[in-house]
Structure 1
């Protein structure tokens, strides 16, 4: 898979991935040939669309090691997160209003939790250490009789740090508390198994795994006592009464195809991109006053977050238009505040604003990494040579 703009080295796969050509080819007939409404099963075109939806549902279920009856389609992970958190609070608040989450969660989770707090939820955000890891002891101690939900992302979107999902799932199961996992960054990149990891509810998005934007899925575990979430949208009985609205057939077909592609590529990509990532990282960390943000071992294979002190990340990116990089979450772009993830890990404002996320993907090549290393080293050298702060630091004054 290649970028259409050959002048850009794309290293922002945590923000979004390009649609894979195989995924696009699978989608195209459902725009122009099989354009029926999947709810119109009384005619052939509608049935064709409905069949395609069920094929995609099976593909997503296989990726998660779930049942097809446990998958509902949404417009993306943000909708799935809102539906899960809001629905669980609405249906379980008579049992309790206590929800445990983490300071480094994605804004889709934190903003929803803040909204629920205004509705009466008792939100407890656990801290992380300097590497971005939570304490399982803190989690154990935080659980109360009125705790209804534990909410942790699988892997962080800025640092790639992976939470101990297996142990979190065990703790939630032991205390009979629901466990919701935002697995948007992890699905398709590392193995995710909702059964063995005791995940009750999970959100994912197609555009993080080489599928189209505007489509995602919500996994809801089937239990003897069904998990009560309800529909976020009203106006139809689609998706087993859990998501009203005409189904986005081409998008869902694309998500299914992307899920199948992820299963094929997972093992070889973990090895390939981790080697490229380590090569990039080892080269850039030779630059003076540079360090890695996050856990060097416990993270996604394609993500590296590096702080280049005395140089603002915005300066680096402005000087390198041929590189597609990120200074944090795409959902927080335009914010004047430093990354909430990095500050929660103990970085001050200056260091947080000097950090860049590199996220590799299927199209990343060794030649691109070599070019990136050269461009970054030269840009930082040029910027620092013109920086009074850097000159003061070199003189031992700052």
Structure 2
């Protein structure tokens, strides 16, 4: 029998999606499942984006340009300019989701055997994308005790080798919700300049910064033009996860021209989704103001309710719409499967993402879960009540 590749065997399952079969079985048994496992907002997609697709008069659904239409990239550059980031359309490549942006980036800056340093816990697919490219993830651990703040620079420096090509961060963070400060970004700037590395920032949650804090993009830092690469997406910003439109933004033209070759190899991003994404850029600021207010209330509700459960420790997120909670269990993956397979509370249960899949260090995060607060406040309260009852039953 032909053999599967080592790379294929090493590819990790998604902690966000691996328990889906158990959730589907629960639904078949008539159990209502509240999904806290996936960052799928219930916020309505801007009508202007939906109308752009519905009302277009395209007669031939043709290929788009490999880097995305010039009109879309020009409008994107205007969006960044409004956010204090000066880039041109030539600094932007539209991709099929932020996922493809990451794949193109890793493919453009690394060779098999190279290394990327990432503070963990981190978005689980960083590990998968790196494995797919033959690249080694080198983790530097952050702690729930300080809300997953940036680890000490000395911890990064100890890990840098001749194989190190980049430091990758998610800001605000998935799965932690941590928002890096301007001072933390400047510390990273110093280390990548000192060691001649790329600094990759996944900024897809940039709009979601809370409590008066401001998001500080790496593209706002002087002197990083050759080092800074931003990954972005419409998925969360406009509640358009199904559009699958992301982008790479960098002023390093050697890098951009290299990434375009990867874009050409996959032909083009989806045309209808580009049309919707271009229209979404006309969304008024009031939309984001309302969304942010809603997420702050949801965050406060979730954290307040979780803190009432004995033995639960939770980090308070400053952005995005996720938090990491430490549970009084030995193995959160076993618990997350059990709560779908063997438990319900008044015929309802919850689905969470075991946090071990957001670490690459073996054994880390084993009693943690990621919770996405993408449900309304009453549902979140109900979810925590189910979680509390489940923990009591599980620990007996």
1:101 paired to 2:94: no
Distance, in Å, in 1 between the alignment partners of 2:360 and 2:128 is 17
- Work out which of the residue numbers 263, 271, 279 in structure 1 matches 2:301: 279
Q: Relative to structure 1, is the Cα distance of residues 325 and 200 closer, same or farther in structure 2, using a 3 angstrom cutoff?
A: farther
2:54 is the counterpart of 1:25: no
TM-score after normalising by structure 2: 0.68
Q: Does 1:70 align with 2:91?
A: yes
Of 248, 254, 266, which residue of structure 2 is paired with 1:219?
A: 248
Give 5+ residue unaligned stretches, structure 2: 1-31, 210-214
The residue aligned with 1:45 is none
Return the alpha-carbon distance in structure 1 between the equivalents of residues 197 and 391 of structure 2: 51
Cα deviation, 1:62-88, whole Å, max 9, x if unaligned, reads: 476232221111111111111101111
User: Taking structure 1 as reference, are residues 261 and 324 closer, same or farther at Cα in structure 2, changes over 3 Å only?
Assistant: farther
Counterpart among 193, 212, 234 of residue 217 in structure 2:
193
Structure whose CA Rg is larger? 1
CA deviation digits over 1:318-369, x for unaligned, max 9?
63799896522xxxxxxxx8623368597663x23xx350323xxx6xxx41
Alignment TM-score, normalising by the size of structure 1: 0.68
Alignment of 1:152-163 (within 5 A): 152-163=169-180
Structure 1 unaligned blocks of 5 or more: 1-6, 41-48, 237-242, 329-336, 391-398
Would you say 1:249 and 2:263 are equivalent positions?
Answer: no
Number of residue-to-residue matches in the alignment: 338
CA pair 166-109 structure 1, distance change in 2 beyond 3 A: same
* CA deviations over 1:366-388 (Å, ceiling 9, x no partner): xx4134314532x345445644x
- Of 239, 242, 259 in structure 2, the residue corresponding to residue 230 of structure 1 is 259
- 3-state SS in 2 of match to 1:339: helix
Q: Is the 8 A contact 1:71 1:217 kept in 2?
A: no
**Which stretch shifts more, 252-261 or 76-85?**
252-261
Q: Which residue in the other structure is 2:236 paired with? A: 208
The aligned counterpart of 2:187 is 167
For residue 176 of structure 1, the aligned residue among 176, 188, 196 is 196
Query: 1:287–1:130: structure 2 CA closer, same or farther, 3 Å change rule?
Result: closer
